[in-house]
Structures are given as structure tokens and as C-alpha cells.
A and B are shown apart, each in its own frame.
Chain A
Amino acid sequence: MKDVAFIELKTTGHGVLEMPSGTGKTISLLSLIVAYQKAFPLEVTKLIYCSRTVPEIEKVVEELRKLMEFYSKQTGESNNFLALALSSRKNLCIHPEVSALRFGKEVDGKCHSLTASYIRAQRHSTPDVPVCRFYEEFDAVGRQVPLPAGIYNLDDLKDFGRRKGWCPYYLILHANIVVYSYHYLLDPKIADLVSKELAKNSVVVFDEAHNIDNVCIDSMSVNITRRTLDRCHTNVDTLQNTIQKIKETDAAKLKMEYRRLVEGLKEANVARETDVYLANPVLPDEILKEAVPGNIRTAEHFVGFLKRFLEYLKSRLRVQHVVQESAPQFLKDIFDKVCIDRKPLRSVSATLSYFYSFTIIIEPFEDRTPTIANPVLHFSCMDPSIAIKPVFQRFQSVIITSGTLSPLDIYPRILDFRPVTMASFTMTLARTCLCPLVCNYPQTHTFKNTLTLTLVDSVIRNYGNLLLEMSAIVPDGIVAFFTSYVYMENIVASWYEQGILENIQRNKLIFIETPDAAETSMALEKYQEACENGRGAILLSVARGKVSEGIDFVHHFGRAVIMFGVPYVYTQSRILKARLEYLRDQFQIRENDFLTFDAMRHAAQCVGRAIRGKTDYGLMIFADKRYARADKRGKLPRWIQEHINDGSLNLTVDEAVQLSKHFLRQMAQPFRQEDQLGLSLLTLEQLESEEMLQKIAKIAHQT
């Protein structure tokens, strides 16, 4: 592990690492990079650690704190590292009124209304305009004074802010290590605000990055519904009114304001040339250099232009059938209908300059409810590499890492970069604590028509029997994943009719994940309670859902994971079809390959929920014959694949039950730390011994 990452740092390239979760991936990366940073302070100035959710960010900061404590204990000197966790205003604001708001958007809006430059300018003339005193204080003193060295998580930052009276959100980052969410680096709208001043020779780590391509695509895509347009309309109206009013009072000032707005674009260009900022992918240089087109130069024209565009979008949303067109087609259509040229549009929203990678899809209704008109315009990005490109270009080393990144070679392809190293690590275990089993259920339906489910009754019954048998022999918590909500609803309904649910409930309580977040978190809470007090519970959830992505089922919360079917993405979705087509044309990735890859990474993600460390153990049951095929098996992460042998393939329910019983009994035997010593835990002497060094070298070579 260390060898490989070290090579990468030296050669200043990008890398992909796969390591099972709970094996100390975070800490080994952190310690390595920090050590490197200490040794060569000029080559690597900054570490940017991107993770997905707030709890994960907090976890990273905690690991870092431990590491630093260890450092200072070993070397005896206090180190001057400054590490920060960053989050949205919602999590960081300490203003008493603003932080009381519940939604991120409201907080952002309120904060903006208190700290925006024009508001503060107004205050100079009329002192009764409210401003945020924390920001004022920060602006007055805090800007020059750097934070004292140390590790700050979100709460620490808030504390510090309160003590000093500074706004924690705006604390400028002179930190050596920054921990924050993906979006701060990938989403162009946010990256511009936060990340543009990061130095070129930083090391960027994307943790839990198995979904990074989807994050990239999401950050570049826009969905427009009728509601958005309506709101947009009112906003444009307000803008017009304001302009009218100001015009009557102060025409000259308005002109100035507007010129500044337009010239802001130009300034950005100047700044970029001096290489101060992280390049924004949506505003390519050539557009900035172009003059602002005449028809949007003055305020009235601009408003008029916006209105026309809005009307056009509205008319497009009135369609009765599904429309899919590429960006050039769309622009042509605009030109024909409302006489808007491409150029002004480009200046306004320059995303269009990459238009080959984008597709516009207008759907008049949702597939599930074809009778209810709910038009949506998807302006969808097909190429994940657009969003991440500036990151790869700008920073010397980018490391993408997760528990499930197999097959490794596909990520560089879809993200369009050349990795220096790609490695997949397995766990060295003192006991085999995972037990993957593949049951021999026939394919329930072809994945082409997931929506028109032609479920075979006997298969549903078989699934039910498997769950019933497992509920009788697996202690505490079981998590069962289905491929989609519709599928789950259908199966659970027929289980109910067949009386299987009733039987299962004798052994364990049943909880179900729903699309509703509040309901799901309630179910989760109760599920954990049931696992805690010995009643035992089953959580029925959906692959790709909230549960499968963010929630860990440590120890007794997930003693078994059952995966019913292969979680293929819904292939009828037009966005996906367009994307598959794009992948085929641009990257020569066959549709089937991508679909399987996507399905398997989700399956791996789901079953990986159960094992979060070496002392943990869990069953992984793949209830579908197709997992036994080489093309599917080969795409599972190596640390799972390693444990699938011929004996655990194509099992009947009885065989699976026998194996699981045996496994669970073996795992329940007392397991102490000294049993791990020498195998998965090394003392310093053992680590330095010749034999062990050779073994490590061997493992490194294999990868």
C-alpha cells in the first residue's frame, strides 16, 4: 500500500486505489501524505481530502487528530499542521438567527443577504441595515491573522469562531490539510467560491469515490420542471421592476452596475491567466475573450432576452411526447423559434460550449405515472470527465480510492486520465470473516424490462424461503437489498399473500426503506433498536438507495446481507440510454460492459455494508445465478472475489443454510487481538523482520 502510493507521490501522477473499508484506508493514506509533506514541504504543500458526507468528513478529521497526537508523542515536538474540515453554511453558521433556519438554501440566502458587498456598502450610508457581526469582525481582523495550528473539525471551527467572534465559514484556508465534500471541488458553482485558491502542488484524495462519475455528471446536469420556470418568471419580473425603479431614480448608477456585472466575466479571465484560480470548466477562456454580444449589453435588453428564453423553454415543456436532441439541435431550434443566437447564450451560460457532451431530453410525464403530466427538461451531461478535468490538470497528484472500485481500469477510462498506479488491496485476515455465497436462483426477468415485471411466482417464493431460513439462523440484523422500489413492493406484496412475511416475523421484525427520507431514517432507528435488544430485525431496502450508499451496518447491525437479483440500472431511462450511446461513441465502452460494471459496483457496495473492519464478520448472499458467471464475478472487488470459491457457488437454500450456520458458529468463537498478531497485526519487530519485508514486497508486486 505504502509503496504504491509513495511511487505515485514521487512521480506526481494520478492513481486509483481499492482497499476494503475498515482496514485503515484513511489513516494509511493520511499518515503517508503527512509524512511526505513533512519530509518535502516544498513539493507537497497541501492535502485536500474529499469525502462524501458530513459524518465521513468528521471521521477523517478524527483519524487525523489521532495521527497528529501520535506524531507529537513520538517526536516530542508540537507540529505546526493546520487541518480543517469544511462544510456548508448550514453546518457552520454561528449567527444566532441564521443558524436557526433549517434548510441549506435558506441559510445560504440569509447569509448572503447579510454579508453581500452591496448590503455592506449600504450600511455605510444607512447604519440600521442589518449585517452579520461575525463576518464584519472577521473582515476587520480575521483576514490577516491565520488560525493557530491544530486540527479543527466542524464543531471546533464553530467554537473558535464563537470565541473570536469570527465567522467560521469564511475563515480563510491557510490550512495544510483540508477535509471537505466532493462538491467543493467538482461542482463548478461551488468550486469557484471555495477551491479556486488552492495551490497547484496539492495532493487531492477522493475517498469513497466509487460513484465519482455520477457525482461529476450530476454536478454538470440541470433538470428544469415547470415549477422552476414559474419561479424563474417571477424573478425576472422582479428584476424588471427593480430596473424600472432604479432607472427612474438613478440611471447612471445602473449602467455602472451592469457594466461591472458583464466585466466580471472578463476579469475572471485575467485572473486565470496569472494562474491564481482553479480553472472553471464551464467558462472556457475563448468565451471570456470574446466581446459581450450587443443584444445583452444593456439591462432592458438583457431582461428581454431572458424573458424570451424563458418563454421558449415553457413552450418546449408543453410537448406531449418525449423529445431527445443534442445541444446543437437545441440551439438551432431556439434560433428558429425566438431568434436567439448562440453567442449571447454562450456568454450567459457557457456550459453550452461543450455541447457535444450534453443532451437535452424533454419528457412530458414520468414513466411510472403516464397519465399525469409533469414535464421535465433534462439538460444532461454525458461525460463525467468534464467536471473533473480541471482537478486532474491542476493538481499534481490525485488519488481516487474506495472499498469498491473494481474493475479498476474502467475509472481512468470514463474519467479520462492516465493513472500512474492502479492497485487493489485485499485484507489480510487472521480468520476469514466474510462468507460470500451465490445462490442458484434463475434470472427472474431479463434486465431489459425492469418496469413491466414478469415475476415468476416460484422465484418469489424461493426468495421468500431464503429470507425465512436466513432469518432463523442469522442473529440480530439482516439487510436485504432489492433492485428497485417497484420490484420490492411487488415481491413484498406477494410474500404477504403467500404468508411468508408472517413466518418471517416470528423470527425477526421487518422494516422497509421507502423513498421518503424521514420514514427511512425512522425505520433505520427502529431497526437498530431491534438489533440492539435482541429481538432481531430485517431491513428491506433498495440498491442505489440511501441505505445502500451512506449507512454502515457494523457488527450486529448487519450479520448478513442478501442481494436479491442484480442491481442493473433502469435501462429504459432516456438519460441513461443517451449516456450509454455517448460512452460507446466516445470511449469505446460497450453498453453491456458499462451496465454490468455499474451493477456490480452497486452490488459490491451493498454487500460491503456488512463488513466494516477486521473484527467484524458477515454473510454475503447473492441470490441470483448470474453472479456465478465469470463476467460478473470478475467485476467484484478482489477482497470479495478472493473468498468466493467453487464450493460457495450455485447453492440451494439448504446448502446455503448449512454453510451459514457453520460460518456463524465459527465466527462466534472468541477472537482476541493476540490471535491477529503476526498475521494482520504486526509489532514493530515483526514489521522490521526480513521475512515480513519480503512478504510485503511480494504482495506489492502482485498488485
Chain B
Amino acid sequence: MDEEPERAKRWEGGYERTWEVLKEDESGSLKATVEEILFQSKRKRVIESHGQVRLGMMRHLHVVIDCSRSMEDQDLKPNRLTSTLKLLETFVDEYFDQNPISQLGLITTKNKRAEKLTDLAGNPKKHAAALKKAVDTVCLGEPSIYNSLNLAIQTLKHMPGHTSREILIILSSLTTCDPANICELIKTLKSLKVRVSVIGLSAEVRVCTVLTRETGGSYHVILDESHFKELLMLHVKPPPASSSSECSLIRMGFPQHTIASLTDQDAKPSFTASGVAPGLSLGGYFCPQCHAKYTELPVECKVCGLTLVSAPHLARSFHHLFPLQAFIESPVEEFQEDRFCQACQGELKDKSIFTCPSCRSVFCVECDLFIHDLLHCCPCCIHSQSAP
């Protein structure tokens, strides 16, 4: 769906020169197509992420959205801002889906200033609403990386040491208008152990390279909209925690949802301590420690500071810790049996096939990616296990 508008209006897409992709290189050496490099890095990512590393599961992420003049550029359809916000909506959903015990905040920067769109919070709805509203923003002036980082630090630095502090900047402009030397700020970020990652919408900017390298983040530049989405989704997975970060046992509360039925005469509506719609309501989650009432989870108790989650939340972030093993890649010629993918039942046409190391089932590239990115478990293994 995302690619629909772009495909529909090809004449607006500029000079794509698709024939160049097809062109064989005479000597076979001089030009390696960037696509190939990209594919390899994609595979590598799947493999890389499967080491046993400590992950920063409790994340505090500030997303900085550039709303400068350059966001009006129409190379992403309909323009960069709309496209970005739309992708961010799915990102926010995905983020909370995969990191239920994490928080997220939104910051916009334009006209040399930075503004907070939403505070750090664990509720996807609020962010989604804010993002929807932001579509109408007028894009003005230059962004200021310095100001936005500064604003993000204000809240991030008070976060406990065992959580991972992250900033993700989506930068469309190639320039930044800063009130002071950004190098100083980078040092501060480094000392505060804030990871800054950047997704560039137009080209590689030096200061971002330095910023991300120093703070241990990643820096990517998009090729087109689908690549943009892919890069954004990279940030859904929790990053490996730096070894120096504190580790501590965290007290968590698992409140039961008590539903007060209307027939119950004793039920009294009560105020919620916080939530999307503060006001009187009947049922809710009660903090096991202080009995403050909340309508939604996960949340940090406003009264006693206890982290309140539900068991399914924790379970959902569980797969990050015990990821599915990478499938073994081998050329298709060596494979003797029927050439069908065990998952999609399609014929194996690509050069290489992928074998699950535990159940020896064979998959195609697409299914391999699908299994690792979404399912997080091998369908054939599950099948054989559930038999008894």
C-alpha cells in the first residue's frame, strides 16, 4: 500500500533509469550494484541480531521530527512530512507492541527551535493522536539539532540508569542552525550514555555521522519510501545495552484488572491517577503497593513509582532475549528434495535456500525474513512440538 502512490505517478518520480539496474557489467568487477550490497546487509542484520547480547529492554526513546522547510520536498509522496508522520504512526504502534515496558516522546524542530509534541509516555494512543494532528504543521525555516537534543536531554537525564536512553532524529534538512558548538553537546550526550541515531531523508551530513559515531547510535540515509520504513523498523528492536550501564533488579507490579459490575452496590466510581481520559470510572488496575488506580498499562505509578505491567507485556518482549536461530544459507543446487518452501509452498527459484538448524525445514528468502522479523519462531518446529 505504501508504494501505491509512487508507482501510480511514475512521471513524477524523476529519472529513475531502471535499465541501469539490469545492465550487466562487462568485466563484472567495476561496478557492484548498491542493491546487492544492501541485500547482503539485510541478511547480515538478521544474522547479527541473533547473538546472545544483553539488551536494553526498558527504553526511553525521544523521536525528533524535523519540520523544517525541506520537509515540503515532494520526493516522498505526497511530501516528506506527511509520509514521515504516516510511517511514524506505524512505528509507534510497532514500538509499543515489541517494547511494552518502554516509553516514547515526540519532539519537533523547525525555525531554529525545538518543541515538545508529547512527553515521554508509554501510551501509543496519545502519540498517534499527536502525530495525526501534526500533519497540518507548516514547515518553516531550518531545524536545530542542538536545541532538540538539549530538550531531549532535559527529560532523559532523569531516567534511571538501567534503562536505555535513546534519541532518534529524522532529519530532512542538510543544515542545522545551532546556538552553540554542537561538539560540546555530543560530549555531554556521551557522558550521559544517550544513544543518538539519525535517519537522513536526503544525504549524509557530517555532523550526524560524528554524532552517531560518538554516541554509539546508527546513521542511515533512505533510498526511497520502502527503505525508509525498513530503516525505521530497525529501531523497533531494542538495542544492545552498553556493558557499562547499571543493572539492577527492578520491582514491578502486576495489577489485576478489577471490573466492578454495575450490579455491585458497593462499587463507587473513583478518580484515576493518570490516563488518557482522567475522570471518574468504575473499574481499573490498582497498584498492588499503594492502590492507586490506572486505566491502562504499562505505566509507572504516580504515587509510589512502581512499574506496573501485565504479564503478556513482558512475554511479548521475551523473544528479543531468546531469538530464533539464524537459518543456514546454502545454494539451491545442493538441495536434492522437492524444491518447495515449507512455509509458503512456493517453488524455490532463488539462488540460495535457508534451512532451519533444528528441524531441517527449508525456506525461501522471503519466508526466512518473515519468520525472523515477525514470527520469531520456526513454524515447522512449533508444528512438531505441538504434536504430542
Contact = CB atoms under 8 A, between A and B. Distances in A.
Given A536-B175, A666-B34, A669-B223, A506 B142 contact: yes
A612 to B, nearest CB: 15
Given A665-B202, A670-B41, A535 B175 contact: yes
Given A475-B174, A533-B183, A534-B182, A664 B204 contact: yes
Interface in A646-674: 647, 655, 658-659, 661-662, 664-671
A665 B15 CA distance: 14
B120 interface: no
Given A472-B70, A476-B205, A534-B208, A679 B38 contact: no
A532 B207 contact: yes
B15 A669 contact: no
B30 interface: yes
B188 to A, nearest CB: 15
B202 A473 contact: yes
Contacts of B133: none
Given A432-B31, A475-B204, A556-B206, A507 B37 contact: no
B34 A428 contact: no
B238 interface: no
A533 B207 contact: yes
A555 interface: yes
A473 B221 CA distance: 13
Interface string B174-190: 11111001110000000
B38 to A, nearest CB: 6
B37 A675 contact: yes
Given A555-B206, A658-B15, A669-B221, A536 B174 contact: yes
Contacts of B223: 665-666, 669
A474 interface: yes
Interface in B133-186: 142, 145, 174-178, 181-183
A570 B303 CA distance: 81
Q: How large is the interface on B (under 10, 10 to 19, 20 to 34, 35 or more residues)?
A: 35 or more
B202 A431 contact: no
Q: How large is the interface on A (under 10, 10 to 19, 20 to 34, 35 or more residues)?
A: 35 or more
Contact of B32 (A475, A534, A662, A675): A675
Interface string B204-215: 111111000000
Tell me the dominant secondary structure on chain B's binding face.
Answer: loop
Contacts of A655: 15
Contacts of A555: 206
Interface string A510-533: 000000000000000000000111
B75 interface: yes
Given A534-B176, A661-B75, A475 B30 contact: no
B182 A507 contact: no
Nearest to B210: A532
Given A473-B203, A533-B182, A665-B202, A507 B175 contact: yes
Nearest to A617: B204
Nearest to B38: A669
A669 B37 contact: yes
A661 B17 contact: no
A530 to B, nearest CB: 9
A665 B222 contact: yes
Contact of B205 (A428, A430, A534, A666): A534
B96 to A, nearest CB: 28
Which of A534, A669, A675 gathers most chain B CB within 10 Å?
A534
Interface string B1-42: 000000000000011010000000001011110100110010
A200 interface: no
Contacts of B31: 429, 431-432
B178 A430 contact: no
A506 B174 CA distance: 11
B220 interface: yes
B100 interface: no
Interface in A533-568: 533-536, 555-556, 559
B202 A533 contact: no
Contacts of A659: 15
A158 interface: no
A531 B206 contact: yes
B15 A474 contact: no
Report, nearest first, the 8 A-B pairs whose CB atoms are least far apart: A534-B207, A668-B221, A556-B206, A668-B204, A664-B203, A658-B14, A475-B203, A534-B176
Interface of B: 14-15, 17, 27, 29-32, 34, 37-38, 41, 69-70, 75, 142, 145, 174-178, 181-183, 200, 202-209, 220-223
Given A508-B175, A665-B222, 9 more contacts: A473-B174, A476-B206, A506-B69, A531-B206, A533-B207, A556-B206, A661-B75, A664-B203, A675-B37
25 contacts: A430-B32, A431-B31, A473-B174, A474-B203, A507-B175, A531-B206, A533-B176, A533-B181, A533-B182, A534-B206, A556-B209, A647-B17, A661-B202, A664-B203, A665-B203, A665-B221, A665-B222, A665-B223, A668-B203, A668-B221, A669-B34, A669-B38, A669-B220, A669-B221, A675-B32
